[in-house]
Each structure stands twice: as structure tokens, then as C-alpha cells.
Chains A and B, each alone.
Chain A
């Protein structure tokens, strides 16, 4: 009986978790582990100028990005041989 209850609770938790992920949107830089290279899937922003700028730094679909450290609300990322500091909003826009 307790097992069943525990099972139900457990199920609920995982369901909630994936629902949350669904709600918050896609897997982006803020969710990434540090020191692991990821491939950029998309830059999700309406600001074309920022998109273009990121491009010139080598930050676009298909390229690799690594989070070196996540500090408070800023992320230090590594893209094409250089380190940049970006804020949380921008990190959220980089979909992996």
C-alpha cells in the first residue's frame, strides 16, 4: 500500500519535471553543464542585430559552445577560441 502511494508520488514528480521543461522552453545555455561542448541549435531572439553580432563571433547554428563557468546571473562561455561573458537573457536565447 505504501509502495503504491510512494510510486504515485514518484510518478507525479517526474511528470511535473518534464512539464516544467516543456513550459520553460527548450534546452538552452542556462541548462548546460560546464566544461562540456554543446552544439548550438538556434539563436532564439527577435533582435537581428544581436544575432548578426553573435554570428561574427562564431556563435551560430552548428557551432560548438562550452560553458566555462556559471557565475550568478552571468555565464562565461567559450566560442571559437575566445571567452565571452554573457548575461542570463542572452544565455537563454542560445538553444542547444
Chain B
């Protein structure tokens, strides 16, 4: 039996879904979190029946006539895939709007059960609802639920299971009308609303006139204030970042790394010194060392995701969209584009997928292309590594990376607008503002642990395999002999990475080891750290005063052979190039156009190269008085990049001038 969960955005569908299936799908207190359907089976503890019941969580919709692509998903599923029962989740604090959709669902002929969700808020709002009357008038069972508290779930499921196979009659009969006639559709909808209004009047007892200002609005006046809005947002981002990067994160990381180090020692002791050096090295440095180096950053990532979950749960996200809207409008985007970017600070993949809520094609593609510039959780280890090794753990390193990212995004958006010359009708910005609520620590913890588990799995699979491969490739040369100490440049890895290293000379890191690390970064950004650990034989990046170095050199900076300027350039290159393949895959899914995809990737690579070039060359000029190596070739490459963009802009300009001429 298949049950579909439908309802207005942010009514609690996904929370209910998680509660009854035991899954941990992503939840957030802002409209547009769920963008695709999710399926799961009901927990046995909630329902003892013979059949297995499958539940499908759908994105929110305000009506059966879709406005956004998420609404289309709901409509298509309900109309085409014919679920056995529909559970319509209704936010009890807003009956009049929610029931519009309900009455439409009731006309489909599929049995419906209404879940009056968020019932825990009824008391505090002084609202009373006559359930029986409502159920009578609608012609379907109505169950009071609270998905956050887990109340009423078993009842709901029993009611749903009972209804399977029933017939559903509609309380509001749409008169036969011509679907093509706009006016009669409007007439019909109007009448539907009248019906709903009457129903709500009879059924609901509300004490507070909700159109007056409340405490929520007072908060909004401060948070979305003309002057204070941006600084508040910047402050929040800074707090999130510094807590995860500078204060709480590294504290916990130190402990973890201590354990990893002891594990290394223990393993080394066990193996002793008689076993094959190749194998022991592969095991100790390649596997334990490489994965360990990355795992050391897990606490930082966990803290970050915890804070992000709190932020999403509070309901602040929708306000961020509102605050940023007028600035984003200046570069051709809208406030809706900020949400993917904020999510992107956790992981670019869900960030890019969140662009689905943007209606305008160009804006959506632009946002999808620019979201990966925001440093994601996987890039955090890279930032932390370089900040720690080269800049004494200074907080400005990381913070500035985010601001550079914002700068790049602004420039990128402007360029795209210039290139596409889109002067079409303004895309209106409208977004529902959910109620503020005190973020649930429990939910944030759940989210954090789920993400932590994912990270560990990722480390134990992809990163482990990559590190092992890298280790093997650097141990052997092309004739499969073990490479001597000091002869590393003859290894397979050096052979493959070498040519790429040439490209990076103008950027200050034309060394095969660094090139190799950057390349492995495309599989997963954490690999940059992992590969560096394997290639330079370092196991502990966190506590830079007491790390273990196998090669015996005095400090990581010397080992890498980079000046601070070059290190900064390398960091920025890795941050602002195309993201990991998985994220590129997500981009591909959203772009829906090979042209845009490759343009996006090309742009990302160009930006990474250009930024690293300028940082290195300008920095070297400032600190040493002369340019670094490869000034001219690098400049040529960048000029080529700029020329391509300029020609794109000009060709569009000529095109539009031509059409104007033709029109005249």
C-alpha cells in the first residue's frame, strides 16, 4: 500500500515522514527544503498490519495547479502514480489557506486523511478546532498530530490504512467549466475559497486576530532591518565559522587526533621492523596516516553542521533571503539564491539541489554555478590545514576565504548577466516567512550525527581508496621497482602529476606533490589533505607543534617548500576551482544544459587559476620585490580566459543590437 504525504510547504511533512519511517531526511524551518520525493517504509512499531506500507514524502504545494517545479512533482505523483491513500498534512495554525489544497485533493477520488499538524501550538495560540465537525464537513477523517512531538502518529496511520480502498466524495463540487477559460477557473477558485472560509468560521475558534504585529514581527523588524540586516547576517556567519574553526572545533579535534596518533603508534609497534617496508608503509602511512589526517578534522565539520542545523531550524533562513534580496537583485539574482549558498557552506551538493526552487532558468543556473564557490564542509580541512601550518591558526584566513567567495559570486553573477543580456520581465520575489522557533538541540544533534556518520563512511571508502592508490603510485616507479629515498620524482605519481605541475608554476606551486593533491581533490576535496599527508608523510595536521613526521624534516612548511604567499595561493586555488565530481554531477542535474555546465566548470577553473595567480604574483612582488616564476605564461593564460568572456559579452551585445536593428 502506498501513502502520499502532501500539504503546504513547511507544514511538517518531512518531520512526520522521519517520525513514521525512522529515516533522517533533511528538515529545515523554511519553505523549499524538500525538493524531491522520498520514499520509506513505516516502522513496525507504529502499525501492526499485514501489509507493508510505503510512504512517499512529497515537496510542499499550495495547490494542485503548480507554480514551481516542486509543486509539479506533487501534482504529477498524485495524478499519475495513484497512491492508495493521501495523507494531507495541514498546519492547524493556518486552516483557511491550507484547506484550499485539501478541497482540491478531496476531488481526486483517492481516499484522504487529514492530519492537523502542529497541534502543539494550538493551546499557546488560543485556538480551538472542532475536529468532528471538520471531519463531517470535509467527508474524511481528521486526526490531530504533532510530528515534532510524535503525537497522534499511530492513530493517523490506522485511519489511513482503514481508508484504503474506500471511495472519496468531495465536499465542494466544482461546477463543470472550461479549463481553458481563465475567468471560469478564477470564478471556481474564488468559490472554493468562499466554501473554505465558511467552513473555517464554523469549525475554528480563534482568540488572536493574527493580522496584528506580534513578537515575531518585532524580531523581524530588527533582523531584516535596512541597516542592521546585513551586519547581523555577517555576524551570524562569523560566529558559526569561528566556533567551528577556531574555538570548539579544534579543541575536540585535538583529542581525536591524539587517539589517532596512538593508534598509529600501536600499529607501528605491532608491525615491528621486520615486515616489508612497502606494505607497512602502505598500511601505516597510506591508510592509517592518510585517513587519520582527514578524520582529524571531523570535529570541526560536526560543529559546523550542528550550528547550521540550528540556524535552519530557527526559521531565520527565510529572513536571510529577504535581507539579501535587494542586493542580489543588483547582480541579476534574487533573495532565493542566497539559500543554496548558505546550504553550500555545509555541502555544495544539497546547496546546488536547492536551486531547484528558483523559477527563472537563468537565475537558477547562475546560482547553481556559483554556489560551489562557498567553501563547503569538505574544504574546511584544507582551510584549517593551511591556516594552521602557515599562518599560525589565524582566524582571518578562514573568514577571508568566505568573503572572497562572496566577492567572486558577485562578480560571477554580473558576468553572467552581461553575457546573457537578460532583460526579461522581473522575476518576483515572494517567500513565506515561517514562524520563528527556538531551534531544537535534539534535532540539530541528530542532523550532526547523521552527517558525521556520512563523513566517516566517506573517509573509510573513497578517501581510503584514494590514499592507498596515491601511496602505491608514489612508492613505485614506472618499472614497478620501489623508489629510493630522494628519488621520488621518478615515481608513477610524479609522472602523472608532473605535467599538471607545469601549469601551476605561475601560481607558485608547480610541484608535482601539490599538483597531485589538487587533482585528487576533484574526487573529494578532503583528498587534498589526505594526499598531502601521504605524499609528505605527515600524520598530524592539527597540533602543529608536536606532529609526527616520518621524513624527519623540521616543519611542514619546509617540507612543502612553499612560501606563505604560495601557500595562500594554493589554498585559494583548491577552494575556488570546480568542486568534487559529485557536486559537478549535481550541477549537471540542475543545469539541464551541457552548454551551461561546461561554461560553469570553465568559469570555475578560470577563477581558481586567476585568483591564485594574482595572489601569488602580487604577494611575491610585495614581499620580495620581484615577481614569482612564470609571470608571463600565467598572464597569457589569464588573458585568454578574459578574452573568451569578453567575446561572449560582445557577441551577445551584437546579437541584441542586430535584433533591434531588424525590428526597426
Direct contact of A and B (CB under 8 A): yes
* Interface pair B431/A85, CB less than 8 Å apart: yes
Chain A contacts for B220, CB-based, 8 A: 68-69, 71, 76
B224 CB within 8 Å of chain A: yes
Report A75-89 CB contacts with B as 1/0, cut-off 8 Å: 010101111111101
* Interface pair A76/B224, CB less than 8 Å apart: yes
Q: A47-B428, A69-B213 are in contact. List 16 more A-B contacts (CB 8 A).
A: A35-B213, A46-B425, A48-B182, A50-B428, A53-B67, A54-B430, A56-B65, A57-B62, A58-B100, A60-B186, A71-B224, A76-B322, A81-B96, A82-B432, A87-B325, A87-B430
Chain A contacts for B428, CB-based, 8 A: 45, 47, 50, 86-87, 89-90, 93
- If A86-B430, A87-B326 touch, does A56 touch B62 (CB 8 Å cutoff)? yes
Q: Which of A37, A68, A87, A90 has the most CB of B within 10 A?
A: A87
Chain B contacts for A80, CB-based, 8 A: 94, 96-97
A40 CB within 8 Å of chain B: no
Measured CB to CB, the closest approach of chain B to A24, in angstroms, equals 17
* Interface pair B433/A76, CB less than 8 Å apart: yes
* Interface pair B326/A72, CB less than 8 Å apart: yes
Chain A contacts for B65, CB-based, 8 A: 52, 56
B277 CB within 8 Å of chain A: no
Chain A contacts for B96, CB-based, 8 A: 58, 80-81
B221 CB within 8 Å of chain A: yes
Chain A contacts for B429, CB-based, 8 A: 74, 85-87, 89-90
Nearest 10 pairs between A and B by C-beta? A56-B63, A53-B67, A87-B429, A85-B322, A90-B428, A56-B62, A72-B226, A73-B326, A83-B433, A81-B94
Query: Out of A37, A46, A58, which one reaches B211, CB within 8 Å?
Result: A37
Docked complex Cα distance between A85 and B323 (Å): 10
Report B432-476 CB contacts with A as 1/0, cut-off 8 Å: 110000000000000000000000000000000000000000000
Docked complex Cα distance between A52 and B428 (Å): 13
Report B205-225 CB contacts with A as 1/0, cut-off 8 Å: 000001111001100110011
B229 CB within 8 Å of chain A: yes
A32 CB within 8 Å of chain B: no
Query: Out of A58, A64, A68, which one reaches B217, CB within 8 Å?
Result: A68
A10 CB within 8 Å of chain B: no
Chain B contacts for A66, CB-based, 8 A: 211
Chain A contacts for B321, CB-based, 8 A: 85
Chain B contacts for A73, CB-based, 8 A: 325-326, 329
A49 CB within 8 Å of chain B: yes
B95 CB within 8 Å of chain A: yes
Using a CB–CB cutoff of 8 Å, the interface residues on chain A facing chain B are 35, 37, 45-50, 52-58, 60, 62, 64, 66, 68-69, 71-74, 76, 78, 80-87, 89-90, 93
Measured CB to CB, the closest approach of chain B to A51, in angstroms, equals 9
Closest-by-CB residue of B relative to A79 is: B97
Docked complex Cα distance between A35 and B326 (Å): 23
Docked complex Cα distance between A76 and B425 (Å): 22
* Interface pair A47/B425, CB less than 8 Å apart: yes
Chain A contacts for B221, CB-based, 8 A: 69, 71
Chain B interface, >50% SS class: helix
Chain A contacts for B226, CB-based, 8 A: 71-72
Chain A contacts for B233, CB-based, 8 A: none
* Interface pair A83/B432, CB less than 8 Å apart: yes
Chain B contacts for A58, CB-based, 8 A: 96-97, 100, 193
Docked complex Cα distance between A62 and B197 (Å): 13
* Interface pair B213/A68, CB less than 8 Å apart: yes
Docked complex Cα distance between A83 and B318 (Å): 11
B426 CB within 8 Å of chain A: yes
* Interface pair A53/B62, CB less than 8 Å apart: yes
B93 CB within 8 Å of chain A: yes
B189 CB within 8 Å of chain A: yes
Closest-by-CB residue of A relative to B193 is: A58
Closest-by-CB residue of A relative to B216 is: A83
Query: Out of A55, A69, A74, which one reaches B186, CB within 8 Å?
Result: A55
Chain A contacts for B213, CB-based, 8 A: 35, 68-69
Docked complex Cα distance between A71 and B219 (Å): 12
Docked complex Cα distance between A57 and B71 (Å): 13
Chain A contacts for B432, CB-based, 8 A: 82-85
Docked complex Cα distance between A62 and B186 (Å): 13
Docked complex Cα distance between A18 and B357 (Å): 41
Chain B contacts for A46, CB-based, 8 A: 425
Query: Out of B95, B189, B329, which one reaches A55, CB within 8 Å?
Result: B189
* Interface pair A57/B97, CB less than 8 Å apart: yes
Measured CB to CB, the closest approach of chain B to A67, in angstroms, equals 10
Query: Out of A35, A47, A85, which one reaches B212, CB within 8 Å?
Result: A35
Measured CB to CB, the closest approach of chain B to A37, in angstroms, equals 6
Closest-by-CB residue of A relative to B434 is: A83
Closest-by-CB residue of B relative to A90 is: B428
* Interface pair B211/A71, CB less than 8 Å apart: no
Measured CB to CB, the closest approach of chain A to B122, in angstroms, equals 14
Chain B contacts for A93, CB-based, 8 A: 428
A-B contact pairs, 23 of them (CB 8 A): A46-B425, A49-B67, A56-B100, A58-B100, A69-B217, A69-B224, A71-B322, A72-B226, A74-B323, A76-B224, A80-B97, A81-B95, A81-B96, A85-B224, A85-B319, A85-B335, A85-B429, A85-B430, A85-B433, A86-B430, A87-B325, A87-B335, A93-B428
B37 CB within 8 Å of chain A: no
Report B40-75 CB contacts with A as 1/0, cut-off 8 Å: 000000000000000000000011010100000000
* Interface pair B318/A82, CB less than 8 Å apart: no
* Interface pair B62/A78, CB less than 8 Å apart: no
- If A37-B211, A68-B217 touch, does A84 touch B97 (CB 8 Å cutoff)? no
Chain B contacts for A57, CB-based, 8 A: 62, 97
* Interface pair B329/A87, CB less than 8 Å apart: yes
* Interface pair A81/B93, CB less than 8 Å apart: yes
Closest-by-CB residue of B relative to A93 is: B428
B190 CB within 8 Å of chain A: yes
Chain B contacts for A55, CB-based, 8 A: 186, 189
* Interface pair A52/B67, CB less than 8 Å apart: yes
Closest-by-CB residue of B relative to A54 is: B430
Docked complex Cα distance between A96 and B96 (Å): 22
Chain A contacts for B193, CB-based, 8 A: 58
Measured CB to CB, the closest approach of chain A to B111, in angstroms, equals 23
Measured CB to CB, the closest approach of chain B to A56, in angstroms, equals 4
Measured CB to CB, the closest approach of chain A to B324, in angstroms, equals 10
Measured CB to CB, the closest approach of chain A to B162, in angstroms, equals 30
Closest-by-CB residue of B relative to A86 is: B430
Chain A contacts for B325, CB-based, 8 A: 73-74, 85, 87
* Interface pair A64/B211, CB less than 8 Å apart: yes
Measured CB to CB, the closest approach of chain A to B104, in angstroms, equals 9
Chain A contacts for B217, CB-based, 8 A: 68-69, 76, 83
Closest-by-CB residue of B relative to A58 is: B97
